Amino acid sequence: MSPLKYPLFVSDIDGTLVTEDKKIPVANKESISAYRDQGGRFTLATGRSYPEAKPFIEEMDIRLPVILCNGGVLYDPASGHLEATATIEREILNRTLRELNQRTDLLDLFVYTLDRVFTTRLSPFSQALLQSGDFPLELIPRFEALPEGPWIKLVAVAEPETMPQLHAWADTVDDPLEFVQSSENYFEILPPRVSKGNALSKLARRYGFAPEQCAAIGDHLNDLSMVKTAGQSAAVANAHPQLIQAARQIVPSNEEAGVAHFVRQSLLATAPHAQGQ
């Protein structure tokens, strides 16, 4: 049995585990290895799809299910299985696309399935934001030409000054959907009750843990539910102000290996000989 007070640890990827150039600091890797050596279980929670997250899953040798698409998908590395935790009904998807298509001068729209992403246009702004080489994008002439689902989420990509308009629009929507801003440029529409926090609770139950036995760290509003659910939580110094306010502690930024600081100071502290690790 693990001597750790928090035997399950979940980390966000972008803006948290990795630096701005998408590298995982050595200190983060070493601290997570020490946590695992003490019996801790570690996995990732991200807004990314599986193809986008795959390099980090492999680099960190993740063996637990990975939370993808902000809780919309669980990926099991042992079996290679992708499981949708919930989906958006086609009628609701079409209605949402019609409404947002009226704002296409301000944003680009991306529809996610389990392993592919569809769009009708790719502006230079969105193209610059996409992860080169690992974004499974397919251009289609119009959204009516979308193949069959399941539909995991819809993402609107826009300049930061457009985000208040998207939040205001979301307040007028009657359909059962979840809305979350996952970065300064990404506004996400998800199935009902889908969040990183709910996915963390589901994962904890699978391994016989209570949410209070889990630890989580993140940087943006899509991490808010996870940080509130976990018994121990941290926000990196570069995090959104609301996440900083909600987290139990603030650690150095993603550029300064904040994940390593969190693990060393808070997750290994109750393990035997942890201070000397």
Which tens digit of pLDDT belongs to each residue from 180-232?
A: 999 999 999 999 999 999 999 999 999 999 999 999 999 999 999 999 999 99
- CB of 246 within 8 A of CB of 222? no
Provide mean pLDDT across the span 83-91. 95
Domain map of the chain by residue range? 8-84+194-276, 90-190
Provide mean pLDDT across the span 23-44. 97
Which tens digit of pLDDT belongs to each residue from 73-85?
A: 999 999 999 999 9
- pLDDT of the residue at 131: 57
| Domain pair 8-84+194-276 / 90-190, same fold | no
- Chain centroid to CA 160: 19
HSE-CB for 54 with a 13 A CA cutoff: 12
Q: What's the CATH architecture for 90-190?
A: 2-Layer Sandwich (3.30)
Which one-letter DSSP state was computed for residue 203? H
- pLDDT of the residue at 183: 92
Q: Does domain 8-84+194-276 have CATH number 3.40.50.1000?
A: yes
- pLDDT of the residue at 228: 97
The structure tokens listed for 238 are 């570069």
Q: What is the rounded distance in angstroms from the CA atom of residue 206 to the CA atom of residue 269?
A: 25
Q: What is the rounded distance in angstroms from the CA atom of residue 15 to the CA atom of residue 263?
A: 17
The structure tokens listed for 31 are 């601290």
Question: Is this structure's pTM higher than 0.75?
Answer: yes
Which tens digit of pLDDT belongs to each residue from 251-262?
A: 999 999 999 999
Q: What is the rounded distance in angstroms from the CA atom of residue 166 to the CA atom of residue 186?
A: 10
- Chain centroid to CA 199: 10
